[in-house]
């Protein structure tokens, strides 16, 4: 490029009309890119991917074929499309590389590379093809590439000028062949609209430029690189100036330092470029300091693409010149790729620096597109995308950033700290303008948390941490300059009504605020009180229904003692305050945006109804309706609990286990102090009982008391308790008085949550007229205490390979004997006082990582851990054979399962797969027609078969849903869903029919459902007791009519595998299902029943400890945890007498109701398939109107089973020749056994953790292996390859053979000796026996009269040879 500079400077600039071009582009559009993309993608034909040789240039046809091949070989991360055509109709191909490349969504900044803009500058064209191949091939193998692809939306255009390339000549270093321009002889890099000069070009002559402009404006790229040739340098904006001085004029943009940094990143990673001395033959004297240059200073270029990107497209772009020779010989290609590879990757990584976030509307929470993001002092703004997301590249520093949109109150955030490497997340919430005062100005308030760092940089480091000082200030602004100001203080809206709320009043209050502020509130119940009142919780957050990664969960609990009512009223005041001030008050807005705040106004609503206003220090209403003190009812570390656990207590315990709370306060009354753990000690005496985190508890306790002057004074209730004094208004619980069974200690010891108890006043139930005073005294303290959740350290623990979060990883702080666990998405929060700490992250199946971090006095230290997986190791005899290889499709599927298992993947699937339905109960005939209808409408994925018939000759149907339902696919897991074993509980039947329709309807439409069906064999038995169902009656919640079959037999007591256990012949329904179970091949079974709300696991029969109980219980937990109510454990069913709370909603079946002959027991013992039973609700036959709600509650849980069946361990058993071994026994943890099926395949579900596998087959050496099972990863395939068994009786074959040979030799020798001896004796006695025969008649009578002994004696003496010894005679007699 540089060597023709003089020629270009001497050429008159093009002057052709370009008027109206932008208007046409924006309003009409010159090309329907979306249509073109679809049409051209559909025309792609399958091709085989070739091996890259790096020794040839691809012409247009070859380039097309190469890109198509890569797109088709990596469909999970690559999508090929065209953004338009060249003058000659050649496609302008763009390869999109990212996870899920066929969908658009927020959260990933868009990056692009454009090559071959000048047709004869060809290195870029080939290098970008190599880059595409490198990113695709290294995905999943190289952590850096994997993270880059997962977190970035990458677009690569190898050739913007394919026509010019076809005219160019290899070896033409100077560009004399004429391929530089497009086919209308126009320079594409002089044809973009320019800020300093009108570019007069006919738009019909530059279709390539028009297509790229539309592409730029549509996509809102963040960062870009334009690759050229002609020298070796990185050039940055501006490319021209108003004066158009030919050379030497530095044309500086508003972000010159940032551009210099970006250019330097590329240059410093390029071995030649970084020297600044390209040594090009035609310009040997030309040098560039540090390998970079300002474009206009080098030479003036009007109409350039990089300036257009910056000025019109939200995008920062630089131009990279890659080689002195424009079109070098192909032999140079490999060298050029090696020179540029690291620069290309490092530059892409810079798309993640600066600030990123979302802008939302304050009232309904909708995303706001096209909002201007303004950085004070930088005269260059960008706008948000269609999802309200933005990405603002900035260098490290402190910035004041605002969001502005027409019709909304602008908001500015002061002192936003941008750190090296990671993007700081900064979200804005804009309130619509109602009556905006003129001349509004910013309002300074005290420092509040406002920023988080959530985007990881592209890095292969095992650990990283970033310090974010949370002193940013967020303010609503009007028209304001950047000059200093002295604004007035704007007061927040205060609660308007102060009164005592009874239960009905409180319920209406909560429902009202949820209705008025649906975008920031979520109302739910965690259970019921003894008298059936809901234990309501109001969540207030910008995404109230979701736990957002990196955002802590905080809670307030009030009214635990029913007659201590101040906390109840203050929490209702707080709800009102937060809702009314969100979007206008900066502190409230930031607290709500960055914290998920859970508020339970009343934990003891029954007690409240008994209490009476004016009670100063009484006890009426203190306890619950069973007269138990709830703050003495939790399990205690020192004192064994003898009292029955109360429903309110159990509900709270299950609630705390289900949400990763970080900080909490329990609001009481009767004194004025903040009380922190521990509440008791092992001796039960009043003395200081220090917890491992005593300093943290003192810090958060003081944070509250210091904002309440009366409390901080330390003399709370002098009229009532004259001698009581608390220094700084805080106290250790046990030091005040000993309390066993308290809630705050249980929080700390059993969850991640730090909780304190706050006594709010000396009077327990004050008069209503005093309530405003309580609010005034505690308002600031309530807010300040929420701020404390953002202290200490926080971060994520991720898998270094693919960047996914690791749940239940342990975070240990050296010197503090209290660990915490990561949440489901791998994020964690650890409260700590300022200081330096050694942190250790450990997770099952991963190598631990240790780092040091310093917690600042203000703010939070962000500490991220990246853990490396420990690969499965063989124990004993190592399986011979190759390790199981993981092809790209399997790798993609593992990523798919992980996405569904972590975060909101499954929840998102549920939300995006709504189907139209009209629920009703179906009797047998309609059920049969419904099933046949599915097979007629979806013949390719369904198969219906009869298993047998009931007593009354009704068919027991089994529906299989799979992509190949008529074929055996032993490599795929097989799952069984069973309903209607009890005819009086038909909810399961209806849910399974809807589930079947849901799967079929979404097949081919929803990618996730399609993938699950393609990879799973799903068998659904909707009703196995159709006769009983015909008898049952709707709306009969406890009736047993229809429970049994026609013979009066409860089918769930009729499954016996041993004939000795069976008293009578099996029922026909039972026989049909037993035969199906005995087919084996099933990985998991789920049975649906009714009459309670819980999940049970084997066994139903009363047995000793259950083998493999951990796995069985885990599977039941998976279902319950994905059910909105079941996991809370509130199984109380007063209509059928089934009261009580079950932890996590899961129990062993025998503990619920033990009996013999159950289907699940038979499935485990004889079908070798784990089965759980899910009870969908208290009413066995609820009204049909409730079916829609029941479906909504169970939909996610049913889908979770389709995901779970792909986990555990799977593999193939084969011999050394590769022949599969069918029937080999796989022993899990020296207990449970499964057997290999056709093809040698096996699959077994296991609870997360390390497990031992032993493979045994007749005639082969047994193999042992240890595997690691994850709760969120699909089972990796392992291959067990057997050698022939070389042992006999447990001894080496060689030893046994040698021993046998020696033994046989000895036997042969012995036999020979005996034969010789016998032969000799026989010859000597022949003469004697001959004489015996001659005189036989003479002795006959004597022989008959004598005994055998006499005979022997006679014979011995009569015919004894005198030469024989006594021994020889005896031997002869025996013969």
Give the residue ranges of DSSP H helices in 1104-1158. 1109-1121, 1149-1153
CA quadruple 910, 912, 913, 918: dihedral positive or negative? positive
> Whose CA is closest to 426, among 402, 451, 448, 447?
451
In order of 918, 964, 1366, the CA distances from 994 in angstroms are 10, 21, 99
Task: Tell me the three-class secondary structure of 874-928, residue by residue.
Answer: EECCCCCCCCCCCCHHHHHHHHHHHHHHCCCHHHHHHHCCCCCCCCCCCCHHHHH
Alpha carbon of 616 to those of 621, 725, 761: distances in Å?
13, 19, 10
CB burial class (10 A; 0-12, 13-18, 19+) of residue 283? middle
Task: Name 137's Cβ contacts closer than 8 Å, sequence gap at least 6.
Answer: none
1046 near 1027, Cβ under 8 Å? yes
Q: E-strand spans in 671-826?
A: 671-676, 730-732, 754-761, 792-799, 810-813, 816-821
Distances (CA, A) of 1079 to 334, 1059, 1235: 57, 19, 12
Tally of CB atoms within 10 A around 1061? 9
Burial 519-543 (b: 16+ CB within 10 A, else e): bbbbbbbbbbbbeebbbbbbbbbbb
Q: For 83, phi and psi rounded to 5 degrees?
A: -95, -5
* Catalytic site includes residue 321: yes
Cα separation, 1187 vs 1176, in Å, equals 11
CB 572 within 8 A of CB 503: no
Measured in whole angstroms, the distance separating CA 893 from the mean position of its chain's CA atoms is 14
Instruction: Determine how many CB atoms are found less than 10 A away from the CB of residue 434.
Output: 6
Q: Taking Cα atoms as reference points, which of 634, 817, 675 lies closest to residue 758?
A: 675
Q: What is the CA radius of gyration of the chain?
A: 40
H or E element, residue 507: helix 503-516
**Separation of alpha carbons 32 and 29, rounded Å:** 7
> Are 503 and 473 within 8 A, CB to CB?
no
User: Which DSSP string do the residues of 1245-1262 spell out, in sequence order?
Assistant: ---SEEEEEEEE-TTB--
Catalytic residue, candidates 147, 317, 321, 569: 321
Assigned token pair, 978: 């069973």
User: What is the helix (H) or strand (E) element at residue 1084, kind and residue range?
Assistant: strand 1084-1089
- Rounded to whole angstroms, the maximal C-alpha distance in the chain is 157
Structure tokens, 1158: 């159950």
Calculate the CA dihedral of residues 889, 890, 896, 900 and round it to 10 degrees: 160
Determine the angle formed by the axes of helices 1007-1015 and 987-1002, rounding to 10 degrees. Answer: 110
Residue 839: which H helix or E strand, with range? strand 835-842
Instruction: Report the C-alpha gap between 461 and 50 in whole angstroms.
Output: 33
- Which of these is catalytic: 147, 576, 759, 994? 759
Pull the structure tokens for residue 842. 């450990």
Distance of CA 452 to the CA centre of its chain: 20
For residue 1288, the cross-strand partners are 1291
C-alpha dihedral, 1329 to 1334 to 1337 to 1343, nearest 10° = -20
Rounded CA separation 123/785 (Å): 60
Contact 707, 787 (CB under 8 A): no
Q: Catalytic amino acids? A: 321, 759
């Amino acid at each position: 490029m540089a060597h023709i500079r003089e020629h270009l400077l001497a050429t008159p600039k093009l002057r052709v009309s370009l008027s109206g071009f932008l208007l046409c582009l924006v309003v009409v559009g010159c090309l329907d890119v979306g249509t073109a993309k679809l049409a051209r993608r559909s025309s792609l034909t399958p091709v085989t991917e070739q091996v890259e040789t790096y020794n040839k240039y691809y012409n247009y046809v070859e380039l097309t074929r190469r890109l198509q091949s890569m797109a088709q070989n990596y469909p999970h991360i690559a999508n090929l499309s065209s953004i338009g055509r060249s003058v000659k109709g050649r496609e302008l191909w763009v390869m999109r590389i990212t996870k899920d490349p066929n969908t658009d969504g927020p959260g990933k900044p868009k990056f692009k590379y454009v090559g071959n803009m000048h047709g004869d500058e060809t290195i870029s064209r080939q290098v970008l093809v190599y880059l595409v191949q490198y990113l695709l091939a290294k995905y999943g193998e190289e952590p850096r590439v994997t993270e880059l692809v997962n977190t970035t939306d990458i677009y690569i255009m190898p050739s913007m000028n394919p026509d010019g390339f076809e005219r160019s000549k290899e070896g033409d270093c100077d560009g004399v062949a004429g391929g530089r321009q497009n086919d209308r002889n126009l320079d594409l890099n002089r044809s973009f609209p320019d800020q300093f000069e009108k570019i007069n070009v006919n738009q019909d002559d530059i279709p390539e430029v028009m297509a790229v402009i539309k592409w730029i404006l549509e996509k809102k790229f963040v960062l870009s690189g334009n690759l050229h040739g002609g020298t070796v340098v990185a050039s940055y904006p501006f490319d021209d100036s108003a004066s158009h001085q030919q050379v030497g004029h530095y044309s500086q943009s508003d972000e010159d330092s940032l551009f210099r940094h970006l250019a330097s990143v590329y240059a410093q990673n390029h071995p030649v470029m970084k020297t600044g001395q390209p040594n090009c033959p035609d310009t040997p004297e030309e040098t560039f300091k540090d390998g970079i240059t300002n474009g206009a200073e080098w030479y003036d270029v009007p109409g350039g693409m990089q300036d257009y990107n910056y000025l019109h497209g939200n995008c920062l772009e630089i131009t990279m010149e890659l080689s002195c020779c424009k079109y070098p010989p192909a032999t140079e290609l490999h060298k050029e790729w090696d020179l540029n590879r690291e620069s290309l990757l490092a530059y892409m990584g810079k798309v993640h620096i600066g600030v990123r976030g979302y802008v939302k509307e304050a009232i309904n929470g909708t995303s706001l597109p096209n909002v201007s993001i303004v950085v004070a002092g930088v005269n260059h703004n960008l706008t948000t995308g269609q999802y309200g997301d933005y990405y603002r590249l900035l260098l490290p520093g402190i910035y004041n950033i605002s969001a502005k949109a027409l019709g909304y109150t602008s908001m500015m955030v002061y002192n936003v700290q941008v750190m090296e490497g990671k993007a700081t997340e900064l979200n804005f919430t804009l309130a619509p303008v109602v009556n905006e005062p003129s001349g509004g100005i910013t309002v300074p308030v005290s420092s509040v948390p406002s920023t988080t760092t959530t985007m990881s940089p592209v890095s292969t480091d095992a650990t990283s941490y970033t310090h974010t000082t949370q002193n940013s200030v967020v303010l609503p602004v009007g028209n304001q300059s950047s000059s200093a100001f002295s604004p007035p203080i704007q007061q927040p809206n205060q609660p308007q009504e102060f009164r005592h709320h009874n239960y009905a009043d409180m319920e209406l209050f909560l429902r009202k605020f949820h209705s008025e502020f649906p975008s920031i509130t979520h109302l739910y119940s965690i259970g019921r009180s003894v008298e059936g009142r809901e234990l309501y919780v109001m969540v207030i957050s910008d995404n109230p229904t979701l736990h957002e990664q990196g955002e802590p969960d905080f809670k307030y609990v009030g009214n635990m003692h029913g007659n201590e009512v101040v906390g109840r009223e203050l929490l209702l005041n707080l709800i009102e305050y937060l809702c009314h001030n969100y979007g206008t008050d900066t502190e409230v807005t930031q607290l709500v945006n960055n914290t998920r705040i859970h508020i339970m106004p009343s934990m003891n609503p029954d007690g409240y109804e008994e209490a009476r206003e004016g009670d100063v220090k009484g006890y009426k209403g203190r306890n619950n309706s069973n007269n138990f003190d709830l703050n003495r009812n939790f399990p205690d570390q020192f004192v064994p609990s003898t009292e029955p656990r109360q429903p309110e207590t159990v509900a709270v315990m299950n609630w705390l286990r289900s949400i990763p709370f970080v900080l909490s306060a329990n609001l009481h009354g009767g004194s004025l102090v903040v009380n922190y753990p521990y509440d008791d000690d092992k001796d039960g005496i009043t003395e200081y009982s220090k917890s491992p985190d005593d300093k943290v508890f003192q810090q958060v306790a003081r944070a509250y008391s210091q904002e309440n002057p009366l409390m901080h004074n330390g003399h709370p209730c002098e009229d009532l308790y004259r001698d009581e004094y608390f220094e700084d208004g805080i106290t250790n619980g046990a030091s005040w008085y000993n309390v066993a069974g308290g809630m705050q200690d249980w929080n700390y010891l059993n969850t991640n949550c730090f909780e304190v108890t706050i006594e709010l006043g000396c009077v327990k139930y004050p008069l209503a007229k005093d309530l405003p005073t309580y609010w005034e005294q505690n308002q600031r303290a309530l807010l300040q205490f929420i701020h404390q959740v953002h202290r200490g350290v926080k971060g994520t623990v991720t898998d270094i390979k693919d960047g996914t979060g690791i749940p239940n990883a342990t975070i240990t702080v050296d010197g503090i004997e209290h660990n915490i666990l990561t949440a489901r998405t791998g994020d964690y929060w650890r409260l700590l006082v300022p200081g330096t700490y050694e942190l250790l992250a450990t997770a099952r199946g991963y190598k631990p990582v240790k780092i040091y971090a310093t917690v600042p006095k203000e703010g939070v230290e962000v500490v991220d851990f990246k853990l490396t997986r420990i690969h499965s190791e063989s124990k004993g005899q190592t399986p011979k054979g190759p390790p199981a290889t993981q092809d790209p499709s399997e790798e993609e599927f593992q990523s798919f399962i992980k996405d569904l298992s972590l975060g909101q993947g499954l929840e998102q699937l549920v939300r995006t797969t709504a189907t139209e339905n009209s629920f009703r109960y179906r009797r047998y005939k309609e059920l049969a027609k419904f099933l046949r209808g599915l097979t007629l409408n979806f013949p390719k994925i369904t198969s219906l078969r009869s298993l047998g018939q009931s007593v009354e000759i009704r068919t027991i149907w089994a529906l299989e849903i799979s992509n190949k339902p008529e074929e055996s696919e032993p490599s795929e897991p097989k799952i069984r869903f069973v309903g209607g074993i009890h005819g009086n509980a038909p909810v399961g039947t209806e849910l399974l029919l809807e589930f079947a329709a849901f799967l079929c309807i979404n097949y081919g439409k929803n990618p996730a459902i399609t993938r699950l069906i393609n990879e799973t064999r799903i068998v659904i038995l909707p009703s196995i007791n159709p006769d009983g169902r015909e008898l049952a009656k709707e709306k009969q919640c406890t009736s047993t009519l229809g429970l049994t079959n026609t013979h009066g037999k409860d089918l769930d007591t009729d499954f016996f595998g041993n004939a000795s256990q069976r008293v009578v012949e099996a029922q026909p329904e039972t026989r049909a299902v037993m035969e199906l179970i005995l087919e084996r091949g099933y990985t998991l079974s789920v049975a649906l029943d009714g009459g309670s709300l819980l999940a049970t696991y084997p066994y139903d029969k009363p047995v000793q400890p259950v083998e493999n109980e951990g796995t069985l219980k885990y599977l039941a937990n998976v279902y319950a945890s994905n059910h909105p109510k079941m996991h809370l454990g509130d199984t109380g069913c007063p209509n059928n007498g089934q009261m009580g709370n079950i932890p996590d909603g899961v129990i062993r079946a025998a503990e619920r109701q033990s009996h013999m002959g159950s289907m699940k027991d038979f499935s485990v013992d004889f079908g070798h398939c784990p089965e759980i039973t899910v009870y969908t609700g208290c009413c066995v036959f609820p009204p049909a109107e409730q079916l829609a709600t029941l479906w909504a509650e169970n939909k996610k849980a049913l889908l979770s089973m389709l995901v779970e069946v792909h986990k555990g361990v799977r593999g193939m058993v084969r011999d050394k020749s590769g022949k599969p071994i069918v029937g080999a026994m796989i022993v899990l943890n020296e207990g449970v056994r499964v057997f290999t099926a056709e093809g040698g395949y096996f699959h077994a579900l296991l609870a997360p953790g390390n497990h031992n596998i032993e493979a045994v087959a007749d005639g082969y050496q047994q193999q042992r292996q240890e595997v690691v099972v994850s709760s969120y990863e699909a089972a990796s395939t392992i291959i067990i390859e057997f050698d022939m068994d070389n042992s006999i009786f447990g001894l080496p074959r060689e030893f046994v053979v040698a021993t046998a040979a020696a033994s046989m030799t000895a036997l042969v020798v012995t036999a020979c000796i005996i034969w010789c001896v016998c032969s000799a004796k026989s010859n000597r006695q022949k003469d004697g026996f001959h004489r015996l025969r001659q005189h036989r008649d003479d002795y006959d009578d004597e022989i008959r009269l004598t005994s055998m002994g006499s005979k022997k004696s006679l014979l011995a003496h009569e015919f004894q040879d005198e030469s024989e010894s006594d021994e020889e005679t005896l031997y002869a007699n025996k013969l």
